[in-house]
């Protein structure tokens, strides 16, 4: 069993984030002994998985479903991940378009951002 400070150190998260994720049900409720939270050894790994999912663009609600789906079976988990991959591809395509527009605006020759015919057709 790990104290919340140990979980924070191993997961790279603040104790307030750990308590928040516990409150949301993303991690199990900590056992309490003498008023101190005690987490299982697996807690830092689960928290790192939550962080990785957030970095991939999953919302906290999606992360909850993602983690719950693992208990339901791999098919639901695969569907959630594939949907996120599709969203990421669409976002990348949109960002590339924005990058091209911004690069083009640098050579436009207009005098102001809000007057650029490339940015504001």
In degrees, rounded to 5, the angle at the alpha carbon of residue 78 between the alpha carbons of residues 75 and 81 is: 155
CATH of the domain at 82: 1.10.1660.10
Count of domains for the chain: 1
Distances from the Cα of 103 to the Cα of 24, 97, 114, 116, angstroms: 42, 10, 16, 12
Mean pLDDT over 59-85 rounds to 82
Residue 70 has pLDDT above 80, yes or no: no
Residue 69 has pLDDT above 60, yes or no: yes
- Percent of the chain topping pLDDT 90: 51
In a domain, 120, yes or no: no
In a domain, 51, yes or no: yes
pLDDT band at residue 72 under the 50/70/90 scheme:
low
Q: Which string of DSSP letters, residue by residue, matches 50-78?
A: HHHHHHTT--HHHHHHHHHHHHH-HHHHH
Strands 31-33 and 36-39: antiparallel
What value does the mean pLDDT of the chain take?
Answer: 88
Which residues form the domain of 69? Answer: 2-109
In a domain, 114, yes or no: no
Distances from the Cα of 111 to the Cα of 65, 99, 101, angstroms: 49, 20, 16
């Amino acid at each position: 069993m790990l104290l919340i400070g140990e979980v924070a150190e191993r997961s790279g998260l603040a104790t307030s984030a750990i308590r928040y994720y516990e409150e949301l049900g993303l991690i199990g409720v900590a056992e309490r002994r003498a008023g101190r939270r005690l987490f299982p050894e697996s807690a830092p790994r689960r928290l790192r998985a939550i962080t990785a999912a957030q970095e991939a663009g999953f919302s906290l609600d999606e992360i909850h479903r993602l983690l719950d789906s693992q208990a339901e079976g791999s098919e639901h988990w695969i569907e959630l991940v594939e949907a996120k991959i599709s969203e990421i591809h669409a976002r990348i395509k949109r960002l590339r378009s924005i990058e091209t527009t911004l690069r083009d605006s640098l050579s436009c020759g207009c005098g102001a951002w809000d007057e650029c015919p490339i940015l504001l057709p």
